Structure 1
């Protein structure tokens, strides 16, 4: 099994009626901005371990488990759906706790990249540098889709409460590892075995359950407003590095409804943009090519302003 070279330490922070689980590597350093890593949908903070291990220099790194993922837990009843702005407010509170008035370097993957982009346009003064790892956003929507979307949302809530959308459980951690390798054929077994024990945990019956709330599968009741997103992108003041993988995940997911060309066109709204490509990698580039990605991040974050 993979052995972490730089083990993290875990802690919990009260955030908006949640007990937020946060991993940290390194120690606070007044000479460097804190580095904040935010994971994607159905992922966990431990997923950054391979990238952290590949970094050439030590720095203070903070990585939370988003609400409804990993070890972050609600103090009350679990929600039956999730609202995107909550991630912004959670991140804002976490930065208050860890960074105070200091600007941070923010790296987000997938859903976390979307959160990072929006947050950086809403709170530009809090971000020193921003890295977006395939935080594509969503296909553009039209107002005419709203009635159907609200109906779909209500139908999916009913299905959730019937138990129709329960996440699959596994007989062992090895079953979870096999699932991870099936989803990502580039993931070697030693890393899959290690990730499986971060991504899932045994329940009282000994079945391994994914550390993610099934309510995340409920569609958002709100449409994706491209005009709103672009206006927010225009207000990002930090230098931004957009990183994509050589595999075209968008074509696989959206079948032409949203393309890489459209994504790159959207990014033209970002004032200070650089782009990079990670070869021989898919959407989970932080698993596929952690050393290459770590060096990209360090070179960008450490370059003179």
Structure 2
């Protein structure tokens, strides 16, 4: 029930004095959600949520630099990192699934008041949506390089539907013998190429501590495979229009720290990002700050956002 799995992981990591982290598992109907709980266990933590196809390791460079009294629960979303995949026949709706998951976790631990969420990319979008859906329960959100779920033009959503459905069904027939296996360096290179400069080789290794695993012996292949669910690659279903995003933005009334990285993510419509920020300002206390960094600024250059986050947490 959210208890630490082992303290052994602490011995493997080089952490600053006084910083502790436990690996935990939270039960869900299809298995478990894995997490890394940093800091004190006797207080309600910040819930930290990673980006699409990343994992809880995305916070490994930032959180150890926060005050030792800071409690943070970093989760692996379903199908990511060390969390259970959805059962065969189910599909991921990315944003909507995440809201249900956050609700499960918060109710599991009975944290239905003064909730603080911190998210990068997809995780920031989930923080935004949760704050809009439960405005009386959320106290603060910190969103890194995103304002709302990715907004798509209706034409694009409609055109991608058929392809998305067929792709999902094709993944159901992906047998073990078809799962690719790579040696360690080759896998890290593949990951780095996929991030297109957003994550350095060194930090790809940080993410892959939870993102890859040795190929099981019964598969009779040497090397490593990606642990994330391939169905996650289909992310275009149930996207959001700008009108819907703005309606959610109007419901947010907590304190908001939104950090946009420059150059950061290359947004299809940057004006939509800024429109959501302006809409939130109508009912919420919003601090919008631009910093130098890639889309993964919390992993690549945590020192660029550390003081902003510390000040925000202290102020409120």
Is the partner of 1:106 in helix, strand or coil?
A: strand
The answer on 1:259 being equivalent to 2:269 is yes
Aligned residues: 291
Q: Please, which moves more after superposition, 61-70 or 191-200?
A: 191-200
Deviation at 1:28, TM superposition (A): 3.5
Deviation at 1:209, TM superposition (A): 1.7
TM-superposition CA deviations, 1:125-179 (whole Å, max 9, x none) = 221111111224323422x556534322222223323549x8754212x333334
What's the counterpart of residue 161 of structure 1?
172
On the 8 A contact 1:177/1:195 being kept in 2, the answer is no
What is the rounded CA distance, in whole Å, between the counterparts of 1:195 and 1:153 in structure 2? 27
What's the counterpart of residue 141 of structure 1?
153
What is the rounded CA distance, in whole Å, between the counterparts of 1:185 and 1:102 in structure 2? 39
TM-score, normalised to structure 1's length?
A: 0.84
What's the counterpart of residue 289 of structure 2?
276
Is the partner of 2:82 in helix, strand or coil?
A: coil
What's the counterpart of residue 214 of structure 1?
230
Deviation at 1:180, TM superposition (A): 4.2
On the 8 A contact 1:71/1:211 being kept in 2, the answer is yes
On the 8 A contact 1:55/1:291 being kept in 2, the answer is no
What's the counterpart of residue 75 of structure 2?
64
Q: Structure 1, unaligned stretches of length 5 or more?
A: 252-257
What is the rounded CA distance, in whole Å, between the counterparts of 2:275 and 2:115 in structure 1? 27
On the 8 A contact 1:13/1:20 being kept in 2, the answer is yes
On the 8 A contact 1:105/1:129 being kept in 2, the answer is yes
On the 8 A contact 1:2/1:191 being kept in 2, the answer is no
Which of 38, 47, 53 in structure 2 is aligned with 1:25? 38
Which of 182, 187, 208 in structure 2 is aligned with 1:176? 187
What's the counterpart of residue 263 of structure 2?
247
TM-superposition CA deviations, 1:164-203 (whole Å, max 9, x none) = 9x8754212x333334444364755554434332321112
What is the rounded CA distance, in whole Å, between the counterparts of 2:226 and 2:126 in structure 1? 22
What's the counterpart of residue 41 of structure 1?
52
The answer on 1:203 being equivalent to 2:215 is yes
On the 8 A contact 2:60/2:299 being kept in 1, the answer is no
TM-superposition CA deviations, 1:276-297 (whole Å, max 9, x none) = 1221x11011111112322211
What is the rounded CA distance, in whole Å, between the counterparts of 1:178 and 1:156 in structure 2? 25
CA 1:167–1:299 in 2, change beyond 3 Å: closer, same or farther?
A: farther
Correspondence list, 1:107-118, <5 A: 107-118=118-129
Q: After TM superposition, where is structure 1 displaced by more than 6 Å over at least 4 residues in a row? A: none
What is the rounded CA distance, in whole Å, between the counterparts of 1:189 and 1:226 in structure 2? 35
Is the partner of 1:50 in helix, strand or coil?
A: coil
TM-score, normalised to structure 2's length?
A: 0.82
The answer on 1:229 being equivalent to 2:265 is no
What is the rounded CA distance, in whole Å, between the counterparts of 2:160 and 2:199 in structure 1? 35
Deviation at 1:231, TM superposition (A): 1.1
Which of 131, 139, 160 in structure 2 is aligned with 1:128? 139
Which of 7, 23, 27 in structure 2 is aligned with 1:14? 27
- Supply the RMSD in Å over aligned alpha carbons: 2.7
